[in-house]
Structure 1
């Protein structure tokens, strides 16, 4: 229950979206056809409250959105695409329903190149389903596969981080109709990218809307998280959720990208029950943070040749590591805003690109 002085953590009413987004409704029969009645063949992954499926689906052409809002879906031109289908578990209690409508409201409220695009939704009987654009791969997949991590040069990693920082900065301070949206569940599994390595954020089930004329924080006590290794310790302790809570979680992901390992990798848990973030902070303070860098990056950096695709420039690395460490400060007040994080990541990319330019120039 919401106590006096607190902001509710759930959207005002998912049902208010129905009429405005009539064109985004997708029939359950069409989704069943695309997944062979939710066959395991099309199943991707399951989490505590939903299952993901892959499929090919006929749906409304989102590029014509501005001219058809409010029209019946049966009257609209369709296109066929590969999509991700997110099936929330049957609504036998209010929890799954709240998660579904929260994410639906976020995805129908935002428009950004680095946020997963909603294709449509289905609410029929006990079914609650979101259909989103198809992603090629995600950070979770890369972190668990050394061979694929090898293909992510330092410059590519920086560009992915910048894309994600753009999205979070937009959510925190650039939405026109709302003061901010706090994702509140950032971890590596929420970050994906398309075939062009344009990174995107998804998974807004626990997002919190903070409307205009409200303080930049909300009391929103949660008792369970997908992974404790990404949770802002101040939020976990006090229930005080702020934009800086997202910043902390993003900082953990930055260290994952730097180190090429999950935050809960056993090598970190042997040193600290808090995992990567605690070990990284200690090493940063001791001046030994470079020892934690992904061996693949260190290997490429050590190559004594003018290869534009070689490892990381030291100034670029230091800029990145410094801002990542600032993100995971123990208290919210000591963390930077996402605008500052974005600025520093861009600076790190400039150092890296300038190195590549100098390498190419020296060969001419």
Structure 2
């Protein structure tokens, strides 16, 4: 599933200790003082001819006072813990501030379009280790890009455009596991560009423009003559180089031999499954009588011992496998990860989730506890995720027609509204994305992963948003979450609004292919900009235009825009979203009867809400 950590990424013990410290210890007064020291150091480091930092008055001792400083954003307005520093276009002069290392909980740094000189510090990862965004574009930085920048392992976005950087781009940058955006336009860089291992990284040729010496995909290939000259020069350094190469080659083949031996012992890398083989007799607790006699042994056989070839999705909550029973029945089995609940607590939670039934939810059929492993058994949903259908890789694949997109939106909204307003207990999904909406045989949406947020380690759930660069996907996270760290129904509405934007624009949540060069925001931010410029129509997927649906498409887009408003109070409830979408699709024969949706107490005003909003928005 989208937003998952790469399989080759692992936390080191030191990372875990530091991250837990960020959550638990950072609110104390010492942490506050570190952040204050950080800002004081920044102010001392820069000349400020435009008085852009005049609001940085440190004589105030009120808790949270630095959160009112120009360009400073805090995790919570009531405490001095910085999450973002945005000092773009403020006329600041000086070198990169070393004291910024005291901002221990900062995840975003934007110093673009100033007059910062000197070089990028060689130890930059020690100064800003937990950044997900770093923007140093539009300055006067010189020298080479330090390879140490690749040790900022949580980076999602890195902008170094419009400087005077020279030398080669460190190939290590391509190994950043979370990187999705990288730009170095208008510098003096040379040599091959990095190869990015993250499949979600979309780095076009325009990201390297105006660097005459760069080469390699997606740019023109590097010239062979230079490569041969490099080989000749390298060979001339002496026989000791040959000896060193022989040692390296020997070590390489030895490591490959060890690797192959390990693969023979564990060919699929699923040692966790091997560890529970002696528990095969454990019975599954099933909610469906028709398959009540299943055991763990049946699941092991149906998944080929949870072979990696049977993985059909992986996300924050765990890995999903396809299981095929002896009679040909297909199921989905999710192996939960990082659950920190006792077996008794887990079983109690399963008893609740197993009784939650709705036609637009993926049915939970049963569960199994085997040693430390927690396995959930679901009905198999054959047509994959909405994300896969919207963002197809194959150019020859058919795009989703408008009536189908509208059907998916209405029925998914119905499922989320039921979780929010009618389910007992009420459930916040907290991880809504187009990857958690599956499509059945009739392309009717089925919501997955509902209720699982409560089973995850709270610390991991917290950190996944702003350190790992993942809460489903950063493009879906409501902006207020960075301040409050509290999940709310309106946060779910925001996330679903991004899904609606995907449906109507065809764009991905974190990368907008149609945006003008230089745009650095996500899909919701792009929509907001177009709306303020009076160009909202430009956002609509070209494949939908002129097909007889223009009025419906525009009304749909307006509803999506309301869902992603920055102020939570201005967003509709999930039930109102469902009612609004249903009004747009009233001429279609969709199955939208409310047989399973009990109206909330304020449901009597829903039709009036629809009338007012539709009338106002034309």
What is the TM-score of this pair, normalised by structure 2?
A: 0.43
Are 2:412 and 1:144 aligned?
no
Kept in 2, the 8 Å contact 1:181–1:208? The answer is no
Q: What RMSD, in angstroms, separates the aligned Cα atoms of the two structures?
A: 3.3
Aligned to 1:168: 416
Deviation of the 1:85 alpha carbon: 1.3
Please, which runs of 5 or more residues in structure 2 have no aligned partner?
A: 1-22, 25-283, 465-470, 590-618
Q: 1:234 to 1:241 in 2, by over 3 A?
A: same
1:157 maps to which of 394, 405, 408: 405
Aligned to 2:368: 122
Larger radius of gyration: 2
Q: 1:103 to 1:330 in 2, by over 3 A?
A: farther
Q: 1:328 to 1:123 in 2, by over 3 A?
A: same
Count, aligned residues: 293
Are 2:275 and 1:39 aligned?
no
Aligned to 1:327: 563
Are 2:614 and 1:346 aligned?
no
1:108 maps to which of 330, 354, 357: 354
- Secondary structure of residue in 2 paired with 1:222: helix
Deviation of the 1:105 alpha carbon: 5.4
Distance of 1:98 and 1:258 partners within structure 2: 44
Aligned to 1:284: 531
Kept in 1, the 8 Å contact 2:288–2:366? The answer is no
Q: 1:272 to 1:244 in 2, by over 3 A?
A: farther
What is the TM-score of this pair, normalised by structure 1?
A: 0.71
Q: 1:221 to 1:47 in 2, by over 3 A?
A: closer
Larger RCO, structure (CA 8 Å, separation 6 or more): 1
Q: 1:106 to 1:327 in 2, by over 3 A?
A: farther
Distance of 2:344 and 2:474 partners within structure 1: 22
Deviation of the 1:203 alpha carbon: 1.4
Deviation of the 1:351 alpha carbon: 5.7
Distance of 1:186 and 1:203 partners within structure 2: 9
Distance of 2:319 and 2:344 partners within structure 1: 16
1:27 maps to which of 284, 287, 295: 295
Distance of 1:94 and 1:244 partners within structure 2: 27
Deviation of the 1:151 alpha carbon: 4.3
2:325 maps to which of 57, 62, 82: 57
The residue correspondences of 1:80-99 to structure 2 (distance < 5 A) are 81-89=329-337, 94=340
Kept in 1, the 8 Å contact 2:287–2:365? The answer is no
- Secondary structure of residue in 2 paired with 1:54: strand
Please, which runs of 5 or more residues in structure 1 have no aligned partner?
A: 3-17, 59-78, 210-219, 302-310, 354-364
Aligned to 1:223: 463
Distance of 1:231 and 1:99 partners within structure 2: 28
Aligned to 1:75: none
